[in-house]
A and B are shown apart, each in its own frame.
Chain A
Amino acid sequence: MQKDGAGRSWGLGQHRCMELQLGLALPPPPLIPIETFDLNSYGNYETREALGTNALSWPLLKLGPADNDINNIHHHNSSSSSSSSGGGAGCKKRSFDEAPFFDEKRNVPKTLHLLLWTNQPNDEDDDPSNVLHENSSSAIFKNDGEGLVGWPPVKTWRKKVHHQIPNGGAENNRLPAVENGIGGRASKSTYVKVKMEGVPIARKIDLSVHHSFEGLTNTLMRMFGISDGNRKSFKLTYQDREGDWLLAEDVPWRTFIRSLKCLKLIRSRG
């Protein structure tokens, strides 16, 4: 198979820059008939095996792993069948010192040729991925305990609104409740985690809209779908900053708000 889907646009790349058209006049590759790569076969879970094998033999580009050499693709002479397995991982030494990708006739600065590794010392003994690993540990964990910087890609704005309390958040003293009306400090968080006994998924509740146990309990009942009749069989407990679990109704509202870290609804016995 001679065609090379990428080759057509290789070096051409940008249709806007007329002057960069390749003089090599590669014939446009025939359109790949659908049958050779039938994504329809991947539609069902039953054909997972097909998925498994076909995924690795992408017929379009002849990326034989043995000589995962750009030049093969470029010169269209890769008649090797797709014996590819494992993708491009084996590529360690790639020589770009063949003829330039861009034809001489193109109106590009001559100096562009210097970009093609003829003059570079062969310092690519390092697998590029190794280089990444050397740096990745510092790059990825730069943010000291918070994990990756900027990942997941959620806007800062959104993160601030949903102030997430880390699991078992001992290190961050995220004091939750701020009384309603105290405004605008950027790092204020009024959300508290609430768990109900027997329910695996925790919820979050904004304490600043509540001013009494009554209101808070009403919201919690609604949140967990507890009917009025069943209300009596639940007690509201909270964990304070010292880590102790206390009954909410034992303390005044203000004390509760100031010292609580998270809430739990437990079934009352008896």
Chain B
Amino acid sequence: MQKKMAYSFPDEVLEHVFSFIQSDKDRNAVSLVCKSWYEIERWCRRKVFIGNCYAVSPRMVIRRFPEVRSIKLKGKPHFADFNLVPDGWGGYVLPWIAEMAGAYPWLEEIRLKRMVVTDESLELIAKSFKNFKVLVLFSCEGFSTDGLAAIAASCKNLRELDLRESEVDDLSGHWLAHFPETCTSLVSLNISCLRSDEVSFSALERLVGRCPNLRSLRLNRAVTLDKIANILRRAPQLVDFGTGYYAAELQPDVFSNLAGAFSSCKELKSLSGFWDVVPAYLPALYSICPRLTSLNLSYATIQSPDLIKLVSHCPRLQRLLVLDYVEDSGLEELASSCKDLQELRVFPSDPFGAEPNVSLTEQGLVAVSLGCPKLRSVLYFCRRMSNAALVTIAQNRPNLTRFRLCIIEPKTPDYLTLEPLDVGFGAIVEHCKDLSRLSLSGLLTDHVFEYIGTYGKKLEMLSVAFAGDSDLGLHHVLSGCESLRKLEIRDCPFGDKALLANAAKLETMRSLWMSSCAVSFGACKLLGQKMPKLNVEVIDETEPPDSRPESCPVDKLYIYRSVAGPRFDMPPFVWTMDEAVRILH
């Protein structure tokens, strides 16, 4: 039943108004107001974000939004980062590129995360989109430098080529030479993931030299320290720079050349790279340290004293990624020097070692939580924790929005009391009212999930491992966390009951991953049968799930909502629980 609008804005006016609305959520809200707004909005939406490439089909997207210029797609579930998703599971971008090639000739931007991208896809992109500007491949795989050569050669207005953390088949460094001499448009180039030593350095230098708008440049590991100065001198306007190897025999002229080159970069605010650092070369950075807001030293095997010295020169630091070589002492220094710190990530230098190799404990994190009032985002690997420390952290920093703690040994209790860490994490969710992402570790019972279900109202993503006692734990989360979008669970004693009792909840979430839990094949089938808007996928590399009794637990389970129905590009070790498809198989 439609009411005639009392006022009549021409569509163009509404369209103009809508053009100021950029966020997806707002755009979605706009489209729900009335039919005519839905129509106007869909014709003028330029950017689409699809959090799960299997939640919708390319054709559906194209049908609704005919004038898209920028698309962002995500493929594999997050646990794929840790080898829990077998190769070949899916996440292929080619079908999307193929459909968009015809429908969106003016597409400018493609951003992909955890997707399989082939050279064929890259070549198709290069061929199909005349005004292509931005290609971001975050944690992608499946392509080689041949595909990159096609992009370099064909995309006349390429602005961004960002391959962060992707796995590239590095056949030859000469792909860089495929950028034509006329290409001067680059703003951002990130090739840090390339492993080969063969990056054609002269081609790179020339490219950098002729792109006056280049703001972000991240080199790969093979670029040696002595080459940095040359590159920087060609691009003093850089805002973000990633080095290669930051190690060499200490030579005074190399050092002064380097220091001079850095100091000529007046806009430089962000540094990364730093594979294998020789500490003697760190002072070359001192001239820019006062301006630095972001520093990624997470590959740098430098020890705490050197880290302390460096960090104490960076009072404006907002973001620090570092190895646990920083130790508690380094973090204490960080807490006193860097009052603007918003994000801290501490990675383990020896994740598989049985014994601690560094003196990094919960104390470091407590110190930072106390000293850095703007701290919002934490990723912390350590080997011991206590409820008291967690409670202190929570009280110190109620403004935390992301808290990911990994105590390296599974099921580690509070080292002081030997109790579970339920209360500590409970304090985190209770005090940090805007917490949107949480990763748990250590010894945890169902109690922690009670707290999470009770307090975690803004929680959107939860990662759980080796925790809980029973289905009650999962039930608390599914029934309590109103904003939950992504839930990933491994090695927890959660079974059918909580899942089936909260089946409807799953349709409100993007996805649920459960591996090495206790969900039976029968329950999966039931879910698949009863919930047509969910894709229920059972992954088992050893044998088909129906070769065992229905009550047997499945190895891995991935459930996601979808309006596209079950997919048909599954490998043999993935079974869909969609009844119709299952029967056909």
Pairwise interchain contact A209-B247, C-beta atoms closer than 8 A: yes
Known: A13-B508, A148-B410. A159 touches B516 (CB 8 A): no
Counting CB contacts under 8 A, is A161 at the interface? yes
Report Cα–Cα, A58/B426, bound state, in Å: 10
- Given known contacts A152-B351, A183-B196, A206-B276, A51 and B454 CB-to-CB distance under 8 angstroms: no
Chain B: minimal CB distance from A217 (Å): 11
Q: Which of A85-93, A240-248, A249-257, A261-269 contacts B (4 or more CB under 8 A)?
A: A85-93
Q: Tell whether, in the assembled complex, residue B447 and residue A58 are in contact, meaning their CB atoms are under 8 Å apart.
A: yes
Cβ-defined contact, B299 with A161, below 8 A: yes
The docked-state distance in angstroms from the alpha carbon of A162 to that of B420 is 31
B198 engages A184 (CB within 8 Å): yes
Residues in chain A within 8 A of chain B (CB atoms): 5-6, 9-17, 20, 39-40, 42-45, 48, 51-52, 54-56, 58, 60-61, 63, 68, 70, 87-89, 91, 94, 96, 101-102, 108-109, 111-112, 114-117, 120, 123-124, 128-129, 131-132, 135-136, 139-140, 146-159, 161-162, 164, 166-167, 181-184, 186, 191, 201-206, 209, 215, 218-219, 222-223
A87/B196 in contact, CB under 8 A: no
What are the nearest 8 A-B pairs in CB distance?
A150-B82, A183-B197, A184-B196, A14-B508, A5-B454, A88-B446, A139-B516, A115-B500
Closest residue on chain B to residue A16 by CB atoms: B508
Q: When the two chains form the complex, which single residue of B279, B479, B481, B492 contacts A11, counting CB atoms closer than 8 Å?
A: B479
Q: Which residues of B contact A116 (CB under 8 A)?
A: 500-501
User: Taking the complex as formed, is B517 at the interface, i.e. its CB lies under 8 A from any CB of chain A?
Assistant: yes
Our pick among B139, B347, B445 for the contact of A87 (Cβ within 8 Å) is B445
What 0/1 pattern do residues 133 to 172 of B give for CB contact below 8 A with A? 0000001000000000000000000000000010100100
Using A115-B500, A162-B350, A183-B197 as known contacts, list a sample of 12 further A-B pairs with CB atoms less than 8 Å apart, ordered by residue number in A: A6-B450, A68-B470, A87-B446, A91-B469, A91-B472, A135-B516, A153-B439, A154-B348, A158-B299, A158-B347, A167-B354, A203-B303
Q: Indicate whether A88 sits within 8 Å of B470 (C-beta atoms), given known contacts A42-B391, A45-B388.
A: yes
Nearest-CB residue, chain B, relative to A210? B249
Sample (15) of A-B pairs whose CB atoms are under 8 Å apart: A5-B453, A9-B480, A13-B505, A51-B388, A58-B447, A61-B454, A70-B501, A88-B473, A154-B82, A154-B381, A157-B165, A161-B299, A162-B301, A215-B249, A219-B278
Q: Are A209 and B84 in contact (CB under 8 A)?
A: no
Residues of B bordering A, CB below 8 Å = 79, 81-84, 139, 165, 167, 170, 193, 195-198, 222, 245, 247-250, 275-276, 278-280, 298-299, 301, 303, 347-354, 357-358, 381, 387-388, 391-392, 394-395, 406, 408, 410, 416-417, 419-420, 422-423, 426-427, 430-431, 439, 445-447, 450-451, 453-454, 457, 463, 465, 469-473, 475-476, 478-482, 490-497, 500-505, 507-508, 515-518, 526-527, 530, 551, 553, 555
Give the chain A neighbours of B479 by CB distance below 8 A: 6, 9-11, 13
Decide yes or no: A89 and B471 within 8 Å by CB, A13-B504, A132-B518 being known contacts: no
Contact of B247 among A45, A147, A206 (CB under 8 A): A206
If A52-B417, A132-B518, A209-B248 touch, does A156 touch B83 (CB 8 Å cutoff)? yes
- In the complex, what residues of B have CB within 8 A of residue A158's CB? 298-299, 347
Q: In the complex, which residues of chain A have a beta carbon less than 8 angstroms from the beta carbon of B353? A: 164, 167
- B501, A96: Cβ atoms closer than 8 Å: yes
CA distance A40 to B503 in the complex (A): 37
Q: How far is the CB of A270 from chain B (nearest CB, A)?
A: 30
Given A42-B388, A223-B303, residue A114 in contact with residue B526 (CB < 8 A)? yes
Q: A124 CA to B553 CA in the complex, in Å?
A: 12
Query: Which of A6, A128, A150, A159 is B454 in contact with, Cβ under 8 Å?
Result: A6
CA distance A16 to B505 in the complex (A): 11
Query: A151 near B82 (CB under 8 angstroms)?
Result: yes
Question: A55, B419: Cβ atoms under 8 Å?
Answer: yes
